[in-house]
Amino acid sequence: MDRSDNLPFVVSSTHESPTEMPRYLMLAEALRAAMQDGRLPAGARLASVREAAKQRQVSLNTVLAAYRHLESRGLIEARPQSGYYVRAQLAAPPLPTATVPESEAQPADLVVLNQIAAVLAANQRQDHIDLSLACPKGGDFYPGAKLGKLVHELTRRKPELLTDYCLPPGPLLLRQEICRHAHSLGMELDPAQICLTNGCMEALQLALRAVTRPGDTVGLESPTYFNLLPLLDRLGLKAVEIPTHPETGLAVDAVELLLQEKRLQAIVAMPNVHNPLGCCMPLAAKQRLARLVNDYRVPLIEDALYAELQFDMPLAPAVKAFDRDGWVLVCASYTKTLAPGFRIGWIEAGRFSRDVADLKFCSSVAQPALLAEATGLFLQMGGYEQHLRRLRRLYAAQLDRLRGLLADHFPVGTRATAPQGGFLLWVELPEGCDSALLFRQALQHKISIMPGTLYSPSGRYNRHIRLSGCYPFSERHIKALLQLGELTNKQLG
């Protein structure tokens, strides 16, 4: 018996005969048919309960029962303070084997490093359309006009921001605002321990340099953020791939075994809104992970770049929220939410804070004071929370639409993650597909994608691709996605 058969309220404004289908089921069936024939595509917002009741001339309870019936079958989803949306019917990738790799830690494969360079070069071509890079483009995703006014006003009122060096740790206003906003992720941070950086990537680099030495082994999620691979290579570090669940994130059992065997000198992980999987670790797993790294005294570098883009509220806490003795270093930036051109990132490095501040000075000396002050002022004025709420709704709708296009135009057997935040999809293509070959074929049509082999030091995931939902769905963009689906179908003959 399904959930809607036991609804504790009347579902129709009129009495039906014993043989007549209840009105809420008639409405649910009509909506389901509209989803199947494309009149209600994936990501489409359904009419509000009140609007639908007025349009269909039925009671509010009838509409609500129909929506709940569809929700129980996974056809639609409710989003807080937003309404009901059509879900894409696409299977999730299979679960990884949660075992520790038996092979020795190795540097990233040279083929993988060369492929990363080739993909990044393709993304720079102006006449190509990019479907994968995690770089939101356009005014829909950033408050550019408001930030521009702030910069203009600060330049007029404080011209010294253009002439003074902004040495580590950076302007106090922004560091205080970072700590205030960190409360939403359960973190109690000290402004004195915050160091500003040139984006999250510099924060990750400083963290690794502070806690490792050449030859050390770093635990990486598998799949992991591709840019960590050339970074580890440049720092002379080796990697061990740790299984990562597409729904629950890093396998903590595997982490504990590696720590027991003393095979790790550091760990890099994205516990909230993982790149590329989009998942968040459960609360108990985060607490256990924090306890393990503190007990074994092995640093955890927590990449919180997408943590504020979680779809559900309140936000799930960071692992840093459970740090006992300062063994968790948390890194983030405002490049994905406010202004990529500002390059404002930050790190709270726990017991390594002094080392990181010294390395920051050696690395890039200072931050752009004007941009840091403008960011701090924007956060202080209260517009950031409103901007994030709009951004979360926008990205959730973008991903739903992207999943719908995959379901309609990619081969049967294609699977994709159902992200808990952010704007990235991890897609598994059917047996017989080759994502590296697909990358080369797509380039011939001036389309750029990210093959899955980039997300593993050993070049795994040759049937996977990462797609991004952080671009406006223009006619050209949709045409490129359909072309990619066609190329994938051709690979299967």
| Residue linked to tokens 């979360």 | 392
Same domain, 71 and 211: no
Measured on CA atoms in the order 443, 447, 453, 456, is the torsion positive or negative?
positive
38 and 166 belong to one structural domain: no
Q: Does 444 reside within a domain?
A: no
Residue type, 52: A
Using the structure block, give the residue that is written with the tokens 């006014």.
149
Residues 79 and 159 in one domain: no
Give the C-alpha distances (Å, rounded to integers) separating 85 from 68, 246, 396, 468.
Answer: 12, 22, 10, 20
Does a structural domain hold residue 254?
A: yes
Do both 266 and 348 map to the same domain?
Answer: yes
Is position 348 within any domain? yes
Q: What angle, rounded to 10 degrees, do the helices at 49-56 and 60-72 form?
A: 120
Q: Whole-model pTM? A: 0.82
Residues 162 and 19 in one domain: no
Q: Is residue 116 part of a domain?
A: no
The CATH number of the domain where 346 resides is what?
A: 3.40.640.10
Alpha-carbon distance of 43 to 87, in angstroms, equals 6
Q: What is the DSSP string of 34-72?
A: HHHTTSS-TTPBPPPHHHHHHHHT--HHHHHHHHHHHHH
Do 30 and 177 belong together in one domain? no
375 and 250 share one domain: yes
- Based on the domain organization, do 69 and 182 belong to the same domain? no
Instruction: Classify residue 105: in a domain, yes or no.
Output: no
Q: Token pair for residue 265?
A: 């000198």
Residue 137 in any domain: the answer is no
Token pair of 259, please? 């720590």
Angle at 412 between CA 407 and CA 413, to 5 degrees: 100
- pLDDT, mean of each 10-residue run, the chain (493 residues): 29 39 84 80 87 90 87 78 80 62 63 74 78 83 90 91 85 95 96 95 97 97 93 94 94 96 97 96 97 98 97 94 97 93 94 95 88 93 90 89 88 91 95 92 92 89 93 89 95 88
pLDDT for the residue numbered 465: 95
Task: Give the whole-angstrom CA distance, residue 233 versus residue 235.
Answer: 5
Say whether both 74 and 186 belong to one domain. Answer: no
Domain boundary among 331, 359, 384: 384
> Looking at the chain, how many residues does it have?
493
What does DSSP say about strands 300-303 and 328-333: parallel, antiparallel, or unpaired? parallel
- Assess if residue 189 is contained within a domain: yes
The stretches of 158-251 forming alpha helices (DSSP H) are: 172-182, 199-211, 228-234
Of 242, 246, 195, residue with least CA distance to 221: 242
Q: How many domains does the chain have?
A: 2
Choose one of 366, 384, 402: the last residue of a domain: 384
Q: Shortest CA distance to 180 belongs to which of 316, 376, 333?
A: 376
Q: How far is Cα 346 from Cα 335, in angstroms, rounded to an integer?
A: 11
Cα 31–chain centre separation = 31
Does 199 lie in the same domain as 299? Answer: yes
Is 352 a member of any domain? yes
Residues 78 and 169 in one domain: no
Q: Are 37 and 408 spatial neighbours (Cβ–Cβ below 8 Å)?
A: no
Integer Cα distance of 318 and 281 in angstroms: 9
Q: Which of 363, 384, 405 is the last residue of a domain?
A: 384
Tell me which residue range forms the domain holding 61.
3-86
47: CATH: 1.10.10.10
Residue 75 and residue 157 in one domain: no
